[in-house]
Amino acid sequence: MGTAPKDATDHTRRANEARALHFDEADFTRASQGLVAQHATGAIETPLGAAWDTNRYAFIERGSENPDTVNPSLWRQAQLNGIHGLFEVAPGIWQARGYDISNITFIAGDTGWVIIDPLTAEPCARACLDLANEYLGERPVVAVIYTHSHTDHFGGVFGVTSHEAVDAGHCRVIAPEHFLRETLGESVIAGYTMTRRAMYQFGPLLPPGPRGHVDCGLGKAIPFWPPGLIAPTEEICETGTELLVDGVRIQFQITPEAEAPAEMNFFFPDHGWLCTAENCTHNMHNLVPIRGALIRDSLKWSKYIGEIIELWGPQIELTFASHHWPRWGNDDVLSYLRLQRDLYRWVHDQTMRMANHGYTAVEIAEMLTMPPEFTAESHTVGYYGHLVHNIKAVYQRYLSWYDGNPANLWKLPPVEGGQRYVELAGGADALLEKAQRWFDQGDYRWVVELVNHLVFADPTNVAARELQADAYEQLGYQAESATFRNAYLSGAQELRNGTLPSRPATRSGFLMAMTVDQIFDAMAMRLKAEEVGGLSVLLNITILEHGQEQPWVLGLQHRALHYVQGRHDDAAAASLRLDRPTLLAVTEGGQPLAEAIAAGNIVAEGDISAADAIFGHLDVFFSMFALVEP
């Protein structure tokens, strides 16, 4: 179809004009303070094209006219996130901002760089390191700190160090406890579908422009490059742990189940610097992102921020995070922390207060509105999170997806339900006629809900797709949350133009850092259970790694895999001896089992067909599956 994005309707113009802004203009001063240098071109090139290009967002400048297709509050945030360069935060600490969705922080140690969060993509991290070395003096990278288990805080690690440097002890890699476990759960176990859904959250396929992509709320955009991962060499397990990292003293606070299931804040007591990772940034964050993730604990989140104040409050001279810009001065920092603390507590407590009156998540999301204490400050506005889905996240954490009404206990799937709703409406034409009337009245939320039934009942109905896209588009233009805008506009774009071709998906950037048990967990999730009924198999597997042999038993029984580390079983039907790269190749479909054996990559004994009972029944996932249609 290829319909282009449309203008804002009068309803949308009026809605955006009504959004009055009274935010502190000091944010622009903070975001610009300490500029040392900027990337020479703003474009970070690779052999496959630009991984990052600030020039794509040149239409967003401070003081530029607010288009009627962008919520004014989001337009302001987009201007702030567009400020890019290498900035001095304080003597001895610098940040590169605006060259990835996240920040990379450089601290001058006694002998080299201590780097906090090496971004999402290797080319972006390398370009920022080059910028720091050029303008601040070249230093080796002697330590990397991952603040938490989200990809945009470790995915660019190969741009600043290497496996060889880490294995040789030249570079420490420090992370919070259970970092690898949580990375596996999010980036591999759920990673295939989460990656597809993230395309709606971040909007990477939306063309930048006033009718398309303007921001991600948490940062400008995500880079075009696959992430990598080096496993940590050290984990922080307790609050109060102190490390000396290349002469820099750091005190840690672990914050599991806050913004990430494995995360930590830390403080530099000799300088008064506080790093809040992603637990305190300049927006209201997600309690569950729309791409999907484990539900975050808003009560713990609030308490962790309170703990920061108790641990280090009087000593804090500045705070910086893995997104956005720093804040300076003890009074300003504490005011900021207290409001962030109380934001997550308010969402938690008021949601559960209403829940205990019997209201459902959907009802509570319509009942609660942000009080003036929070709407007066931009750093508590939902540019990345949103009050609507944060309320639903709190509710789901305690009470599950089910609202208690048996009518919602076993609902029909979208296609079958859609067909019945279309029949109930009197057919497709009658449904569209009514929906168009509501669209003309500006009731876009209802149009989206109503026409969705017709799209799922008949995805070939062009008029339904166009009207659904039109309604999504106006909701996107009005959205203050960047993630809501990106999701609505991505849905509109795919309804009009279709999706990109689907292809086999892999999580190769993470696999080499995974432990053997994590590889088996990822493999077990791909087992085609319908094909292995009645099969019961035990395999002895020896993994060769770092000159050592690791014995494992891998079993298939009752259509599920299980494994045991540290021994072999006399009842095993076959034995396989291989290194970890070969295990990855076989489990990820890069090399069939028989081919690996024939090539000598696997030494096999016993009944090899028994091994194929497991390795021959692994599913393949594909990218770009449908979201807004069947």
Question: How do beta strands 242-245 and 234-236 pair?
Answer: unpaired
Question: Is residue 5 a part of any domain in this protein?
Answer: no
The whole-model pTM stands at 0.94
Nearest CA to 148 among 266, 31, 52? 266
CB-based contact 347:287 (threshold 8 Å): yes
Domain boundary among the residues 451, 478, 505 is at 478
CATH number, domain at 424? Answer: 1.25.40.880
- Which residues of the chain fall short of a pLDDT of 70? 1, 508
Identity at 249, one-letter amino acid code: R
Q: Is the dihedral of CA 235, 236, 238, 242 positive or negative?
A: positive
* CA-based radius of gyration for the chain: 26
Question: Is residue 392 a part of any domain in this protein?
Answer: no
Say if residue 324 is in the same domain as residue 179.
yes
Question: How do beta strands 141-145 and 113-116 pair?
Answer: parallel
Report the b/e string of 240-251 with b at 16+ CB within 10 A.
ebebebbebebb
Question: How do beta strands 548-557 and 141-145 pair?
Answer: unpaired
Question: Is residue 448 a part of any domain in this protein?
Answer: yes
Report the b/e string of 290-320 with b at 16+ CB within 10 A.
bbebebbbbbbbbbbbbbbeebbbeebebbb
SS (H, E, C) 444-489: HHHHHHHHHHHHHHCCCCHHHHHHHHHHHHHHHHHCCCHHHHHHHH
Indicate the angle between helix axes 462-478 and 10-17, nearest 10 degrees.
20
CATH number, domain at 538? Answer: 3.30.1050.10
Question: Is residue 566 a part of any domain in this protein?
Answer: yes
Give bridge partners of residue 560 from the DSSP assignment.
557
Domain boundary among the residues 478, 500, 524 is at 478
Say if residue 462 is in the same domain as residue 533.
no
Cα 535 from Cα 614, distance rounded (Å): 9
Domain count, the chain: 3
Say if residue 128 is in the same domain as residue 205.
yes
Question: Is residue 495 a part of any domain in this protein?
Answer: no
Q: Would you state the pLDDT for residue 272?
A: 98
Q: Mapping DSSP to helix (H, G, I), strand (E, B) and coil, where does residue 110 land?
A: coil
Domain boundary among the residues 461, 478, 495 is at 478
Q: Mapping DSSP to helix (H, G, I), strand (E, B) and coil, where does residue 275 land?
A: strand
CB-based contact 117:110 (threshold 8 Å): no
- What's the length of the chain? 630
Backbone angles phi, psi at 63, to 5 degrees: 85, -5
Instruction: Kindly state the helix (H) or strand (E) to which residue 51 belongs, with its residue range.
Output: strand 49-53
CB-based contact 229:509 (threshold 8 Å): yes
Say if residue 375 is in the same domain as residue 429.
no
476-486 pLDDT, tens digit per residue, is: 999 999 999 99
Nearest CA to 321 among 277, 368, 279? 277
Question: Is residue 520 a part of any domain in this protein?
Answer: yes
Give the 3-state secondary structure percentages of the chain, helix then strand then coil, rounded to 5: 40, 20, 40
Say if residue 538 is in the same domain as residue 452.
no
Nearest CA to 611 among 578, 565, 567? 578
Say if residue 474 is in the same domain as residue 542.
no
104-149 pLDDT, tens digit per residue, is: 999 999 999 999 999 999 999 999 999 999 999 999 999 999 999 9
Question: Is residue 491 a part of any domain in this protein?
Answer: no
Give bridge partners of residue 561 from the DSSP assignment.
556
Q: Would you state the pLDDT for residue 184?
A: 81
Cα 526 from Cα 587, distance rounded (Å): 9
Q: What are the structure tokens assigned to 578, written together?
A: 């291989």
Cα 267 from Cα 384, distance rounded (Å): 26
Say if residue 420 is in the same domain as residue 550.
no
Q: Would you state the pLDDT for residue 176?
A: 98
Say if residue 140 is in the same domain as residue 271.
yes
For residue 42, how many other CB atoms are within 10 A of its CB? 18
Q: Would you state the pLDDT for residue 62?
A: 84
Say if residue 166 is in the same domain as residue 226.
yes
Say if residue 426 is in the same domain as residue 361.
no
237-243, Cβ contacts within 8 angstroms, sequence gap of 24 or more? 237/177, 239/307, 239/311, 243/174
Question: Is residue 510 a part of any domain in this protein?
Answer: no
Burial of 526 (0-12, 13-18, 19+ CB in 10 A): middle
Cα 103 from Cα 116, distance rounded (Å): 9
CATH number, domain at 381? Answer: 3.60.15.30
Say if residue 379 is in the same domain as residue 436.
no
Full domain range(s) for residue 419: 413-478
Say if residue 185 is in the same domain as residue 132.
yes
Q: What are the structure tokens assigned to 560, written together?
A: 């599920």
